Structure 1
């Protein structure tokens, strides 16, 4: 068992904001807590915000990285669980971007008493096409090609993937930032996280959900289409889907205001339901 201070250092945990309600923000693959900075001014007055980097990402302690633990999304979920326990958090709104929506769902099902609700930004339970019933966006062979490119030309891989993720030619500055973030991540930890992200299928988790969930999707997203948002909403109890008029997979970066508006409105509905 790690002492609490070790976990907070390991995951580079930072806390900001002045509200009573705790909002835990979990970054996506190839990213770090800096990606939330566009949302922070819009949320800080209303929330106590907990930010962190998964081990292997950002400014986390690389000495704590264990390839076996982080070979599946359960290892990343354990980071969230240990942070919640170290800070003795209760009544948490857990907000995850992309794969962290599913990592958050895994964590929530292990510590349901600590979580109040989840917000999922551009989520996907499975990035694979599994016809005829499910189209996650990618053929397995295409994803394998992407993995091979990581080995052969890591910078080329980052420069290819970043614009695809941002999804908006007018948002070049975000593509450049995301590419830099990919490049600054250790290739070994990045490939392990990529495999856990892109080759997994967590659709069976959805019907087990027991918490209110807000799904936020873009109108056009190359990584998580509207079909996926609708699929998740149909298969996950207590979930609602809100579509934001936008392009791309990083709404919290490219469209922070509508995301913040949806988060505030969701919390208001939650509070009214409890009264």
Structure 2
């Protein structure tokens, strides 16, 4: 299979620079990184891709069984790395992709040197001693609404996820991205995302890690950032002066600056 076509791989930036691999979250695609890309491309070789079922990936490569768990998305990451023979990679994952990066690094640690987790959440459901931001009933209702009327769900939820009500164009962009995703594929990715529990996987992380959180985020509240930071020994937690779940769009300069600073300071 042509992995480059399958995952719509794009390579840009400094050809001889250290490698950054950017991975988008649920309902998104590589275009979500466009505002941080100019800064990263100054010093790094930047690789972008779309998960199968997202963006301009090859829909014929989609398989419900594979993509019904985060392991399937980690497989995409590893196959992109193998196709381009990427090594010493800084993996930057947004939202659920932060956990996909953890899984990929555990399976093939020799390819990864750093992790950057942008608005991560290892588990979205509250339980005793842990706040994920949602009750089990909340998640059931969210998934039921998504599955019964995906376009309506997207129009209602995307602005909430984005935040920044005073900048409605951001919510509109996320709505457009959600609505461009095939509803059947989105349903499978949503279940893989919102029903996942990757808390134990955080113990496998051994590389320098940056946890980037926003000061207000309805999807990944700050208790989650603190949890991830505590669970990964030696990780660095940075709270961006940003609101919403997509700081690469709402605060691109701060997001890019934090990533660059981390890479330059990390061993």
Which TM-score bucket, shorter chain as reference?
Answer: over 0.9
Partner of 2:111: 114
1:201 aligns with 2:226: no
CA offsets, 1:112-153, max 9 Å, x none?
1010101010000011111x2111011111111111112322
Q: Report deviation, 1:246.
A: 1.4
Partner of 1:249: 245
Pick from 30, 33, 48 the counterpart of residue 33 of structure 1: 30
CA offsets, 1:170-205, max 9 Å, x none?
121111011111111000110100000001111001
Pick from 2, 5, 12 the counterpart of residue 9 of structure 1: 5
Aligned residue pairs total 266
Partner of 1:166: 162
Q: How does 1:48-127 map to 2 (within 5 A)?
A: 48-127=45-124
- For 2:26 and 2:148, locate their aligned partners in 1 and report how far apart those are by CA, in whole Å: 20
Q: Report deviation, 1:76.
A: 0.2
Moved over 4 A (4+): none
1:218 aligns with 2:214: yes
For the Cα contact (< 8 Å) 2:123–2:198, is it kept in 1? yes
Partner of 2:19: 22
For the Cα contact (< 8 Å) 1:216–1:241, is it kept in 2? yes
For the Cα contact (< 8 Å) 1:24–1:94, is it kept in 2? yes
For the Cα contact (< 8 Å) 2:40–2:256, is it kept in 1? yes
For the Cα contact (< 8 Å) 1:55–1:62, is it kept in 2? yes
Secondary structure of the corresponding residue to residue 50 of structure 2: coil
For the Cα contact (< 8 Å) 1:123–1:217, is it kept in 2? yes
TM-score w.r.t. the length of structure 1 is 0.95
- For 1:31 and 1:209, locate their aligned partners in 2 and report how far apart those are by CA, in whole Å: 25
- For 1:148 and 1:232, locate their aligned partners in 2 and report how far apart those are by CA, in whole Å: 28
Gaps in structure 1 of 5+ consecutive residues = none
Q: Which moved more, 1:215-224 or 1:134-143?
A: 134-143
1:140 aligns with 2:143: no
1:228 aligns with 2:224: yes
Secondary structure of the corresponding residue to residue 123 of structure 1: coil
- For 2:7 and 2:24, locate their aligned partners in 1 and report how far apart those are by CA, in whole Å: 12
Q: Report deviation, 1:37.
A: 0.4
Gaps in structure 2 of 5+ consecutive residues = none
